[in-house]
Amino acid sequence: MEKQVFKEFLKKKGLKFTKERAVILKEVFSYHGHFDPDELLTKMRKKGLRVSKASIYRTLPLLLESGLIEEVEKIDKHAHYEHTFGHGHHDHMICMKCGKVIELFSDALEGLQEELCKKENFKGIRHVLEIRGYCKKCIGDRKIDIEGRHDRVHPTIFHR
Amino acid sequence: MEKQVFKEFLKKKGLKFTKERAVILKEVFSYHGHFDPDELLTKMRKKGLRVSKASIYRTLPLLLESGLIEEVEKIDKHAHYEHTFGHGHHDHMICMKCGKVIELFSDALEGLQEELCKKENFKGIRHVLEIRGYCKKCIGDRKIDIEGRHDRVHPTIFHR
DNA sequence: ATTGCAACTGAGAATTAGTCTCAATTTTAA
DNA sequence: TTAAAATTGAGACTAATTCTCAGTTGCAAT
Ligand SMILES: [Mn+2]
Ligand SMILES: [Mn+2]
Ligand SMILES: [Zn+2]
Ligand SMILES: [Zn+2]
C-alpha cells in the first residue's frame, strides 16, 4: 500500500512521515487522472484539509522520487502529475487542438527503450514520452491546417 | 537552408521576416547543443546583437512551430531547445547524477510510435522522449544508491 | 515517559520564467 | 511611394515555484 511505501522511503532518507505528508499522499491517491500542485492545494482547502502551499511543493518531489507518482504533460507552464502506484506506468498522446489526452502503453515500446539503454550502458530509471498531434475528432475539423502545421504549439485546454 | 524555410513559414502565416527574427535564427543555428532563452539572450548581448527579451520569447515558438527547432529537457523550470534542421530529430537520455545528455535515435522506436498513433487514430506531429537514469560513469560511482533510487530527481548540472 | 535535536511547518517575501502593454518603428504588398 | 498590419523594446505584470525563518513536531535514545 502506498502509505507503507512512502514511509519506508522517507525513513531510508532520514526524513519524517508527518501528518501533512500523510494527508497529501492520501489526497493524491484519491484522484483518478492528472493533477497539478495548485489544483491539489485548492481541492484540499475546499475539503478543509489544511496544508500550506510550501508543503505541497515540498512533498510532490518526494512522491516523485519514491516512484509513487510521475510527471506528465510538461507543456504548460506548470507541472502535472499523476499517481502510478498500482496503476502502472504509461505514456501520453496530447491533441494540440482540443487538449485531449490519450494514455498509451506498449510493451514493445518499453522493451525497445531498455534495449537502447543497454546499448549506451545507461541505466534507465524512468522516462516520459509525449506525442503531440491531433486526435481523430480534430483531424476531421481542420484538415488543411494540420497538413500545413499551422496550429498553436501550446493548446489552450489542458486538464481533464 | 533554414533562412528560406523560416521565411516561407512566416509568409504562409502572414508574418514578417524582420531583422530581429533573422538575427535570432542565425544565433540559434550557430549553436551545437541545447540552449535556453535566457542563455540565448545573454550570448547575443555579449556579441552586441540587440534584441529584446520579448522578441526572443516571441520568436522561439515560431521557430518551434516551423519545425526548425525542438524542445528538449523538459525538467528544469525553464524551456530548453536545440535546432534540428539539418540534423534530424533525436531523443535523449539524461543522467540524474552528472547531467550528461546522450542523444539517441532509433528507426524502430520512431516506427513503433507511428504504429501506436495509427492504432488510436491520432495524427502524431512531434514527440519528446526523455529517459532518465544513470550513465555508465555514474553507475560505477554509486551502485548502492542507484538500486535504492535515492537520487535527486532534478540534477544540478544540465547544460552542455 | 521524557528529552533533544534534526526535520518540518506555515506565512509570506522573493525569485524566476515568461507574458503583456503600448507608443514608436518596420515590413511588405499594392 | 504609401499605408495598413505586424513588430519592436522597455518595463510593468503574472504565474509558478522556491526560500526564509521562527515556532512545531516526529522519533530515537535515554
Ligand atoms: Mn496519464
Ligand atoms: Mn539533443
Ligand atoms: Zn483533439
Ligand atoms: Zn552521469
Domain range list for chain B: 1-87, 90-146
Per 3-state DSSP, what percentage of chain B is helix, strand, and coil (rounded to 5)?
Answer: 45, 20, 40
Q: Which of B62-76, B114-128, B129-143 shows the highest mean pLDDT?
A: B114-128
* Residue of chain B with shortest Cα separation from A107: B112
Nearest-angstrom CA–CA distance, A93 and A107: 16
**Would you say A38 and A78 are in contact if contact means Cβ atoms under 8 Å apart?**
yes
- Of the pLDDT bands very low, low, confident and very high (cuts 50, 70, 90), residue A49 is very high
**Which CATH superfamily is B90-146 part of?**
Ferric-uptake regulator, C-terminal dimerisarion domain (3.30.1490.190)
| CATH architecture assigned to B1-87 | Orthogonal Bundle (1.10)
Describe the crossing of helices A2-13 and A19-29 by its angle, rounded to 10 degrees. Answer: 140
* Residue of chain B with shortest Cα separation from A62: B153
Q: Give the pLDDT confidence score for residue A78 in this predicted structure.
A: 82
**Would you say A94 and A131 are in contact if contact means Cβ atoms under 8 Å apart?**
yes
- B69 vs A68, B36, B74, B89, CA distance in Å? 33, 12, 14, 9
Per the structure block, which three cell numbers stand in for B106? 532509433
Tell me the nt nearest to B52, Cα to C1'. D9
Which pLDDT tens digit goes with each residue over B32-41? Answer: 888 999 999 9
Nearest-angstrom CA–CA distance, A23 and A56: 10
Average pLDDT over every residue of B90-116: 90
Average pLDDT over every residue of B140-154: 41
* H/E segment holding residue B77: none
Nearest-angstrom CA–CA distance, A58 and A71: 15
Q: Give the pLDDT confidence score for residue A141 in this predicted structure.
A: 62
Could you tell me the pTM of the whole model? 0.75
Per DSSP, the three-state class of A70 is: strand
pLDDT at B71 over 90: no
Average pLDDT over every residue of A29-51: 93
Cβ neighbours around A93 below 10 Å, total: 24
Q: Residue A112 is nearest to which of B106, B126, B132, comparing CB atoms? A: B106
Nearest-angstrom CA–CA distance, B25 and B148: 44
Closest listed residue to residue B103, CA positions, set B89, B113, B117, B116: B89
For residues A108, A113, A119, A120, the Cα torsion angle rounded to the nearest 10 degrees is 180
Average pLDDT over every residue of A38-63: 95
CA angle A105, A107, A109 (to 5 degrees): 80
Q: Give the pLDDT confidence score for residue B75 in this predicted structure.
A: 66
pLDDT at A100 over 70: yes
Q: Residue A122 is nearest to which of B128, B136, B153, comparing CB atoms? A: B136
Does the distance separating the beta carbons of A125 and B149 come in below 8 Å?
Answer: yes
Residue with cell 481542420: A142
Does the distance separating the beta carbons of B127 and A129 come in below 8 Å?
Answer: yes
pLDDT at A84 over 90: no
